[in-house]
């Protein structure tokens, strides 16, 4: 790994894989979060004193947003189409958001299980405008595993 002790990962070296296939031309990943219920358990000790314990509860499903250049990428477009049409047997895929070091070696992975596209926003098209077109895609997932 090209990082020295105490170095932090950088935000510009990342990628996303959908079912093991790297998605090209990705601009941004945001909103990746994990949440789980907290169970508060109250009991009385043998000495008659109240004791409160907190335990992990049920994991909640999550979502994140990716911004990508509008390209003719057939794999990503097909995934979006399957989600829009409700073809959940093929739309649910495993996705991985990878953080990479300076040598582009994966150093951290966020594995999204049973992920699918729940929303898409295309950037504004405007006559006379000279800017790249993008798609903002909300990906919802059932389980998050961090490696």
DSSP string, 102-119: TT--EEEEEEEEEEEEEE
Residues facing residue 137 across a β-bridge: 66, 120
In angstroms, the CA 22 to CA 57 distance is 33
Going from N- to C-terminal start, the domains of the chain cover 14-146
Alpha carbon distance 128, 147 (integer Å): 45
* Gap between the Cα atoms of 107 and 96, Å rounded: 12
The pair of structure tokens assigned to 55 is 């335990």
pLDDT for the residue 22: 80
Q: Which fold has domain 14-146?
A: Pnp Oxidase; Chain A (2.30.110)
d(CA 66, CA 116): 12
Residue 69 is predicted with a pLDDT of: 85
Q: Average pLDDT per run of 10 along the chain, which is 147 residues long?
A: 66 82 81 91 93 93 90 83 93 92 85 94 89 91 93
pTM to 2 decimal places: 0.81
- Residues 112, 51 contacting (CB under 8 angstroms): no
Which run of H or of E encompasses 30?
A: strand 26-30
Q: Dihedral sign for Cα 109, 114, 117, 119, please.
A: negative
Closest C-alpha among 131, 21, 141 to residue 73: 21
**What is the rounded distance in angstroms from the CA atom of residue 76 to the CA atom of residue 21?**
10
Here the tokens at position 69 are 């250049």
């Amino acid at each position: 790994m090209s990082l020295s002790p105490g170095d932090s990962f950088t935000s510009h070296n990342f990628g996303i894989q959908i079912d093991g296939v790297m998605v090209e031309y990705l601009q941004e990943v945001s909103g990746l979060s994990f949440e789980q219920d907290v169970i508060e358990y109250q009991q009385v000790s043998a000495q008659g004193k109240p004791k409160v314990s907190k335990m992990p509860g049920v994991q909640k499903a999550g979502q994140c947003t990716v911004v990508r250049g509008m390209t003719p990428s057939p794999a990503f477009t097909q995934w979006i189409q399957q989600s829009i049409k409700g073809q959940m047997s093929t739309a649910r895929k495993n996705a991985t958001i990878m953080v990479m070091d300076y040598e582009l070696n994966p150093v951290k992975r966020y594995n999204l299980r049973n992920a699918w596209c729940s929303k898409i926003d295309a950037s504004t098209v405007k006559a006379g405008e000279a800017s790249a077109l993008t798609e903002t895609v909300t990906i919802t997932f059932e389980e998050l595993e961090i490696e």
